[in-house]
Structure 1
């Protein structure tokens, strides 16, 4: 659009006086804090652009006939310009004076160029590192802009923002990081990722130029100016309305499908969303698009659920559709703005379309406008320097002495959803960084049910994190993040949880700043390497390696330590509780400054408390060597050979003794145990197909001897037989008494040599209290009393006899003697007196039955269980059944001899 001007070539000052308010096409707007500038500065020309999903950026050239205006008076001010349309209504653009340049100064006049930009462009100047937890992208936008508005009165006056153009739901995200990006770049990134478009609108609030940031995700979110259609026509002085004078359509191929995939580690599967294009590309275009797919594999938990991921996939496809078709035009329509909507008429092709298809949304606008410029040559040269490309971009060819407005713009059909293009390659690619593990309260380890931790990133500053979320030292500082483990599987693997306060190394999955994982811990000035056994330090103890843990809220430790010292290698598993430890290899004192005192070789299992070695299928303890752990686990050839000798000797002597009137030895159990040891490995991996193995027995054997000792009592118990066999001697020694008691019989048999029973100082007493005593010798029988008398007393009769029939019988009140030959009595005198007796004192033996009363008790508290049903099998075949009484006892079992009982407790009533 052009209009004539009644001015002649003049200096700048003279020309400014001629540009009265009524004669200006282009006008500047200043805030009330700088109202004097409205009368001192006159707009000369302006060029620049504004874009949906982009910035507002214009060069504004203005001049003043006064020298009292400096660059610093203009820098940073809210500023706007307007261009009057044919009806005199100003079309307004507002922003901030981002930069100011003094282009020319001469003869009392000065020429400035101001770069007018939106607030987002200025927010490129603040770069920071911060985190946002449990915030949506809309909430993050509000937080960042509110901070600037609170701390910056210029932005508070010049910027507003709105969300009424958002129709979709944008869920809160657990963790988003601003990774050294400017505020503007960060906001654009998260909007692009979500598919949220933005644009600016402009108003004057009183005299204050204000620009409004609008977020949008729906075609209805843009200003509708379609009530009056814009005409397509050549622009000239005869036109009474602003018109569009050039129009062209363009098309680009687009993929037929977008696939957005990301790993969901909670469900352990990839979550995938697909969206096909809804655009009609023609038959050939559709055929071409079938093989064109855009597959994006994003970082884990890219979206907040399936619906959200589908929404993001749809946004990706809409961005492709936006980039695949549109229109380019030139016009002199001064009311057009980026984001405004208009209807078009008069264009031959567009007029053939349905009415709804003749409406469009401007996505980018470039304009050039100027007031009439009639200046002398030096000023005109300064004024027009570097402005020819701006004029050419919009097709301005008018003379400089007339006011001009023209623009070039791009637009899309009104029903097109405008979505910014998202490029994953534009996301900051982070390397690894340190963080500190945080926890709530006084926890030393703070993990959730998945073993995830929370961290405070070292870059986080309290004043940049509202309520200190991100810089509080609590689990609010980050989302829960996973910890790399050497092995992680379904309920098994390793579990190393870093302690609160420790420094860890953080990496980012696919280098995405929103997806941190913990790789492992780092030692630092307050977290030193482990000091095994509280001894030594590095580098002297560098041969030591391993794992050392620490007790919660105390200073005790457990560790697995490896010592790789030359010629002194060892391993130790230790707990400070009761100094419990397993030492293996070269045993020595805790290494200090690289040195250790020898303590032995092999292994040592020690504790200051109790110990237990428990096996279900038996235990072999042997000193017969198997070098380098060769052979089977239960290799016991020597043990079986020794036991075979035991069985042979035990059976041979026992049978021999039984044949010679001694008590027969019960060798069945001994032989059974031998067979069990032979079959011990059956059913294991060394004999998987054999049976009857795995008997829970303990075998102890050594080639050079066994020693068992205690300063207190030693007890040996066998539920059946206790067999002791020696190929040479069994020798028993007791410092005081040797007591042998048998519930039934007792037999001592010496096959070849003497059997000696000697009471060296005390009494020797042989009794059979309720049966006979038989003392028999194959040769002589000698009774003597070296310092006393021999007394033989019987209740009924004493008989002394020889094999030829000679005898002496005492008893029943008489003495009877006889022989087949002569009877000789030799004495100095003979006295035959009246009858007289001297009664002998016979021993008295008590007799009682052996009685028992079994009791059933709970193993948990040793309390009696009344009412339990029981069955008892006795050795004589007589059984007993019943229920336990209130004290948990069965009925009494009485017998004169000991016997084995088999008792079964069946159940309880309670």
Structure 2
């Protein structure tokens, strides 16, 4: 039989686990039980089961609102878990009591509700993440605790990703990891690049192994298991950078993991273009990737009733038969994951309870989170508009690169254009090849090397309703001139042009090259030929005049051979 409702809804401060929400008072929602998981570099999530005398709570009044769990420790202190309610449901009501359920998530979860596409240039990962967080006002609470400066990235793209996925991807690829620190007021995201300085659990730095924990006055570990997993023993990488194309910067490194008498299986990976610009950067990258492998080589799991446990902190294990003989360093463990379960005894005469399962590694092993968030996939090319400084018509650099603005870039997407992009040409060699630079305002086709959104490349130029094909004839354009082929360039900041025309009209084959300046110039010389007959007018060109040569191929006998005209 249910306890008396008046006693049931007495103040929660005498309960093992206290729930605080934005409900009208703290008696309105009482926590019956909870379960959840906390892990390094993962968002925590807690499922709450609650009871209330009010079956008509407005569900949307709870969504997105802060809530707090306060778990009473053996010392009488409290361990706090803060978050925001991301789901809230009415599970049923029997007329006297209503049952509700909710999910408690960190503030970082809110970033999963917003999807964006934008470009960042010449920034560190920290600067990019700070920009993302700034859009959420006072909600984010975070700290970067880094041991060394982060490198500057020339080009980073968020493409059709949620802000959460984007941030997690950047952290993983940079070798950073995080955990959440909770106090009575809030929870803070702590972002790190190393694990060696992580501190002991503030409320229980030493934990005893004791299988009969019911006789213990302090929380203890009741089960302890160790695991070995065969891992790759070496990693090698190389990359390609068009700025130093003859140096692929190969880097190889063995694992520091001691795995016994086994082969050192190698992971060889050809990383993204420009993944590392120097050998030192390559070594750092390989070391980070190896650490993500090594951390899985030897792990420890267990069960406990230690309510003070949470990831991102260490503890010293005592009185365990397999570790007591080891050094203090070997008895220090870093918590990676903790799965919690707890309940109050509102509807039962049994005592309230708490248990957990945990995963840890030795603290002396550097922690690095594996790369689990993939880059956004790009299934094909995108078109873009060539951009440049106002007043310019052709904007390029010594490598024949241009800047473009992709159509999905919004007004608040800084900078206005992309970084410098290479342009594919029909041929390109050392001092020879084609050179046709796309001009500001033209539409170009952008492809992505190996489908990597951060490695764009211009492959061709497109006509559109503003930039129409050249007419090549005063009579009409396309489709009337569909038998005309050729090239027409545009005078820089003028209306003149150079032209090479091929007329494939049946029975009227001809070719023509000419130049036309913006202003009238002296009459150009003219050459005519057919089957080797060449006729040229006197050369009246001035040194500063625009040259115009007209080459006409008249109808010739089928057996005739067209030779280059004499100069």
TM-score normalised by length of structure 1: 0.57
1:308 deviates by: 2.5
Q: Which residue of 2 aligns with 1:319?
A: 292
Q: Secondary structure at the match of 1:313?
A: helix
1:793-817 per-residue CA deviation (whole Å, 9 max, x = no partner) reads xxxxxxxxxxxxxxxxxxxxxxxxx
Decide which structure has greater helix share: 1
Q: Which residue of 2 aligns with 1:806?
A: none
Q: Which residue of 1 aligns with 2:12?
A: 21
Q: Which residue of 2 aligns with 1:275?
A: 253
The reply to whether residue 135 of structure 1 matches residue 123 of structure 2 is yes
CA spacing shift, 1:25–1:462, aligned 2, 3 Å: same
Bigger relative contact order (CA 8 A; separation at least 6)? 2
Q: Secondary structure at the match of 1:529?
A: coil
Task: Indicate which of 247, 250, 254 corresponds to 2:227.
Answer: 250
1:124 deviates by: 1.6
Task: Indicate which of 453, 457, 462 corresponds to 2:406.
Answer: 457
Contact 2:165–2:373 at 8 Å: present in 1 too?
Answer: no
The reply to whether residue 213 of structure 1 matches residue 189 of structure 2 is yes
1:573-615 per-residue CA deviation (whole Å, 9 max, x = no partner) reads 22113475877789xxxxxxxxxxxxx9977767995299xxx
1:401 deviates by: 2.6
CA spacing shift, 1:271–1:462, aligned 2, 3 Å: same
The reply to whether residue 10 of structure 1 matches residue 2 of structure 2 is yes
Distance 2:305 2:111 in 1: 32
1:461 deviates by: 0.9
Q: Secondary structure at the match of 1:258?
A: strand
Q: Which residue of 1 aligns with 2:271?
A: 298
The reply to whether residue 355 of structure 1 matches residue 356 of structure 2 is no
CA spacing shift, 1:428–1:580, aligned 2, 3 Å: farther
Distance 2:364 2:222 in 1: 23
Contact 1:273–1:306 at 8 Å: present in 2 too?
Answer: yes
Task: Indicate which of 168, 193, 196 corresponds to 1:188.
Answer: 168
Distance 1:12 1:119 in 2: 37
1:168 deviates by: 3.0
1:329-382 per-residue CA deviation (whole Å, 9 max, x = no partner) reads 11110011121211101211121221111111111111101101426xxxxxxx
Q: Which residue of 1 aligns with 2:350?
A: 401
The reply to whether residue 263 of structure 1 matches residue 240 of structure 2 is yes
Q: Which residue of 2 aligns with 1:111?
A: 99
1:35 deviates by: 6.5
Q: Which residue of 2 aligns with 1:610?
A: 541
Q: Which residue of 2 aligns with 1:239?
A: 216
User: Which shows bigger deviation, 44-53 or 563-572?
Assistant: 563-572
1:191 deviates by: 1.3
Q: Which residue of 2 aligns with 1:483?
A: 423
Decide which structure has greater strand share: 2
Contact 1:342–1:359 at 8 Å: present in 2 too?
Answer: yes
1:310 deviates by: 2.2
CA spacing shift, 1:96–1:607, aligned 2, 3 Å: farther
1:64 deviates by: 1.6
Q: Which residue of 2 aligns with 1:410?
A: 359
Q: Secondary structure at the match of 2:249?
A: strand
Structure whose alpha-carbon radius of gyration is higher: 1
Task: Indicate which of 513, 519, 523 corresponds to 2:463.
Answer: 523
Q: Secondary structure at the match of 1:220?
A: coil
CA spacing shift, 1:630–1:131, aligned 2, 3 Å: closer
Distance 2:317 2:526 in 1: 89
Distance 2:430 2:312 in 1: 53
How big is the alpha-carbon RMSD for the aligned residues of Structure 1 and Structure 2? 2.8
Task: Indicate which of 167, 170, 183 corresponds to 2:147.
Answer: 167
Q: Which residue of 2 aligns with 1:75?
A: 63
Distance 1:581 1:370 in 2: 98
Which structure 2 residues correspond to residues 612-761 of structure 1 after superposition, within 5 A?
A: 628-629=560-561
Q: Secondary structure at the match of 2:57?
A: coil
Q: Which residue of 1 aligns with 2:381?
A: 432
CA spacing shift, 1:244–1:548, aligned 2, 3 Å: same
Distance 1:90 1:202 in 2: 11
1:306 deviates by: 3.4
Q: Which residue of 2 aligns with 1:495?
A: 435
Distance 2:513 2:250 in 1: 48
Q: Which residue of 1 aligns with 2:510?
A: 570
Q: Which residue of 2 aligns with 1:224?
A: 200
1:215-250 per-residue CA deviation (whole Å, 9 max, x = no partner) reads 112113533238842001125432100001111111
Q: Which residue of 2 aligns with 1:886?
A: none
1:425 deviates by: 5.4
1:111-134 per-residue CA deviation (whole Å, 9 max, x = no partner) reads 211111123333122111111111
Distance 2:136 2:427 in 1: 46
Paired residues, number? 548
1:264-296 per-residue CA deviation (whole Å, 9 max, x = no partner) reads 1111131222222111112x13xx22xx11112
Which structure 2 residues correspond to residues 768-847 of structure 1 after superposition, within 5 A?
A: none
Contact 2:16–2:352 at 8 Å: present in 1 too?
Answer: yes
- Tell me, which stretches of 5 or more residues in structure 1 are unaligned? 1-8, 150-155, 376-399, 587-599, 613-624, 635-697, 700-910
Distance 2:91 2:441 in 1: 58
1:629 deviates by: 4.2
Q: Which residue of 2 aligns with 1:545?
A: 485
Q: Secondary structure at the match of 1:260?
A: strand
1:416-469 per-residue CA deviation (whole Å, 9 max, x = no partner) reads 222121258554344211111110131111011111111111111123x3xxx2
Distance 1:581 1:222 in 2: 82
1:685-734 per-residue CA deviation (whole Å, 9 max, x = no partner) reads xxxxxxxxxxxxx99xxxxxxxxxxxxxxxxxxxxxxxxxxxxxxxxxxx
Q: Which residue of 1 aligns with 2:390?
A: 441
1:777-805 per-residue CA deviation (whole Å, 9 max, x = no partner) reads xxxxxxxxxxxxxxxxxxxxxxxxxxxxx
CA spacing shift, 1:496–1:628, aligned 2, 3 Å: same
Q: Secondary structure at the match of 1:40?
A: coil
1:170 deviates by: 1.6
Distance 1:293 1:264 in 2: 24
Contact 2:257–2:297 at 8 Å: present in 1 too?
Answer: no
CA spacing shift, 1:607–1:315, aligned 2, 3 Å: farther
Contact 1:15–1:374 at 8 Å: present in 2 too?
Answer: no
Q: Secondary structure at the match of 2:88?
A: strand
Q: Which residue of 1 aligns with 2:554?
A: none
Contact 2:159–2:376 at 8 Å: present in 1 too?
Answer: no
